[in-house]
């Protein structure tokens, strides 16, 4: 079993079947040694965004639930990465995550929410999972989901 698959099993993470794109875009593009993963929402294993992960952090949703949603979004990023390259061991580095948090205008502890995604990357990939990151609070996200995460990976040469 490839090392990253074994690691996912060890930490109890199951990757969902990636949802096929519903529009004229694709969930990932490989360009040279870069893998670009489209913004992934915090859908669960069943491909649906749970009610508890819909809405605004600082409004109906707590930061803890937001962190959980960020982890789900990151799991979907990994599912798309696996669909893109087959074997996650081919990832040389998680270069960057972009984190978009659906929040009220007065909610400011955005980094703690995004840590749900960042922590997963490091749990899964170790030092290769340590990434640059940009986290911002937005007015809304697709399907009212709480968190959306996009990613850039470097592939092994």
156 forms part of the interface with its own copies (CB under 8 A): no
Measured CA to CA, the distance from residue 48 to residue 19 in angstroms comes to 10
Of the two residues 15 and 97, which places its CB atom closer to its own copies in the complex? 97
Helix axes 110-125, 63-85, angle to 10 degrees: 40
Of the two residues 1 and 55, which places its CB atom closer to its own copies in the complex? 55
Segment near its own copies (CB under 8 A), from 2-10, 11-19, 31-39, 64-72?
31-39
89 forms part of the interface with its own copies (CB under 8 A): no
Pair 106, 58: CB distance under 8 Å? yes
Q: Which two tokens stand for residue 72?
A: 């789900």
Report which of 132, 119, 111 is spatially closest to residue 63, judged by C-alpha positions. 111
47 forms part of the interface with its own copies (CB under 8 A): no
Phi first, then psi, for residue 3 (nearest 5°) are: -60, -45
Residues found near its own copies in the complex (CB under 8 A): 22-29, 31-34, 36-39, 56, 93, 95-98, 100, 103-112, 114-115, 118-119, 121-122, 129-144, 148, 150, 152, 154
């Amino acid at each position: 079993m490839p090392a990253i698959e074994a690691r996912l099993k060890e930490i109890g993470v199951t990757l969902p079947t990636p949802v096929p794109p519903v529009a004229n875009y694709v969930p990932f593009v490989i360009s040279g040694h870069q893998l670009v993963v489209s913004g992934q929402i915090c859908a669960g294993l069943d491909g649906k965004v749970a009610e508890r992960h819909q809405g605004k952090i600082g409004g109906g949703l707590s930061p803890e639930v937001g962190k959980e949603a960020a982890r789900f979004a990151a799991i979907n990023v990994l599912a798309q990465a696996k669909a893109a390259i087959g074997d996650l061991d081919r990832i040389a580095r998680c270069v960057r995550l972009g984190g978009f948090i659906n929040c009220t205008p007065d909610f400011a502890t955005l980094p703690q929410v995004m840590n749900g995604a960042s922590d997963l990357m490091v749990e899964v990939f170790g030092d290769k999972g340590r990434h640059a990151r940009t986290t911002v609070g937005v007015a809304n996200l697709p399907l009212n989901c709480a968190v959306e995460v996009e990613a850039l990976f470097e592939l092994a040469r």
